[in-house]
Amino acid sequence: MESWSFPPAYDDGYMPPHDSRYWFPVRETMPAAERERAILERLKLVCDYAYKHAPFYKRKWDEAGFHPSQLKSLEDFESRVPVVTKKDLRESQTRNPPFGDYLCVPEAEVFHIHGTSGTTGRPTAFAIGRSDWNAIANAHARIMWGMGMRPGDTICIAAIFSLYMGSWGALAGAERLRAKAFPFGAGAPGMSARCAQWLDLVKPKGFYGTPTYALHLAQVAQDEGLDPRNFGLQFMFFSGEPGASIPAVRDKIEHLYGAKVYDCGSMAEMTPFMNVAGTRETDGMLCWQDVIYTEVCDPKTMHRVAYGERGTPVYTHLERTSQPMIRLLSGDLSLWTNEPNPCGRTYPRLPQGIFGRIDDMFTIRGENVYPSEIDSALNEIKNYGGEHRIVISRESSMDELLLRVEADADTFGKGGEAVSRFRDEVGRKVQKVLGLRTLVEVVEPNSLPRTDFKARRVIDDRAVFRDMHRQLESAR
């Protein structure tokens, strides 16, 4: 297989013919069974490497009764190798700061440090070796090639440049692709208006960010008197949140910009995070199995579910030597298939992308609800103003769902009957999608805060109710 070794050793001067559909034709189109045999051999190498170099894995596997020499099949891998959780990683880094005892290279070889923000607890530090950064750049360039981007294209990276891995991974891929990297960033006050002006000036072909930010940016551009379709964008690829595989959201972005939208991205810990990504001809997300081995598993047994079923992705690095993740549990929910892909690549596919995190799901009166389902429903409504909040509350003994939804300027400006019709339409649409009666509050356009990053739209007031209830019980 083309340039497939462990540790990886890519030729940075390699470039496919400009008109080639594939970066690595053999790796991308080989029979799936043949690829799985090769993946098994790679897993043996990766597990042996991790067992020898990472006390974290040796300890965890010894406790589970697994040794790399026992690995004879992919079934052995899923049944014998325990999953790793984010909690495991945080505990490892607490014991062995800052990078944990799963760092398999000397600290002197660390080239980039990234990580989580730590807003909900101890931050997790990502240590990426110099050779791994090179492999990440090659993998991302290859996947961006599959989306249709080519050397010389200008690619705007409109995501926060900080500890966040997404922007840096997209930049590394663009640079390896020999594209004109345009790292605009995001987050500073007034930057969205400047971004729209620069897009209108530079006319890039590619754009990377989050779906939420793309929708916000389009509104800012229109407020500045600019038409996003005049930016000349052809390829828009997104990660960080569900949206780019949700038909209503994807179609809205494509309509606003006149560009093709691609979904990509698994987890920052799994960088090259574009290991699940769509292509020019194939919607949803392909599982680029020779970059990162993906299993979609039952959340209880951690065994693979059948194709056509839902489960949680579990990821394993096949090329990382620094902090390799072996069976990292994502906590996301997706559905996978294994059917012929329009692009000819022989990878499994997540046709609907990643629905969201399992722990983002909430239950209202016995019904499981994902925020992405509400996002999709609202984006299908013509007079939706572009932002909303999902408020979960407690009324008497029943959970209630309140949607605070912006109407567009025309609808809100007319008031009265127009707002009432919009409110009724939102209620009907959401009830049809969720099977739940929903209270709807219509608010004026641009009254809800926008974000340059991942959207956080759910407000759970039930916690307040529970706290009050406990206090009353204690008082009694």
β-pair partners for 394: 399
**Class of 1-355 in CATH:** alpha beta
Question: Which DSSP state fits 452?
Answer: S
Res 193: pLDDT: 94
Q: Tokens for 200, please give them.
A: 């209108």
Res 1: pLDDT: 80
Res 292: pLDDT: 98
Edge-to-edge strand list for the sheet holding 398-407 = 439-443, 398-407, 384-395, 458-460
Q: Which CATH architecture has domain 361-475?
A: 2-Layer Sandwich (3.30)
Domains of the chain, residue spans:
1-355, 361-475
Res 468: pLDDT: 44
Integer Cα distance of 319 and 42 in angstroms: 9
Res 462: pLDDT: 57
Res 366: pLDDT: 65
Integer Cα distance of 280 and 344 in angstroms: 11
Integer Cα distance of 253 and 407 in angstroms: 18
In tens digits, what is the pLDDT along the chain, a chain of 476 residues? 899 999 999 999 999 999 999 999 999 999 999 999 999 999 999 999 999 999 999 999 999 999 999 999 999 999 999 999 999 999 999 999 999 999 999 999 999 999 986 545 678 999 999 999 999 999 999 999 999 999 999 999 999 898 989 999 999 999 999 999 999 988 777 899 999 999 999 999 999 999 889 998 999 999 999 999 999 999 999 998 877 988 888 999 999 999 999 999 999 999 999 999 999 999 999 999 999 999 999 999 999 999 999 999 999 999 999 999 999 999 998 999 999 999 999 999 999 999 877 777 777 766 777 787 888 889 889 899 989 998 887 665 567 788 999 999 999 999 999 999 999 999 999 888 888 888 899 999 989 987 766 677 887 765 544 554 455 455 54
Question: Which DSSP state fits 395?
Answer: E
Res 239: pLDDT: 94
The residues, ordered by sequence, that sit 6+ positions from 227 with a Cβ below 8 Å of its Cβ are 221
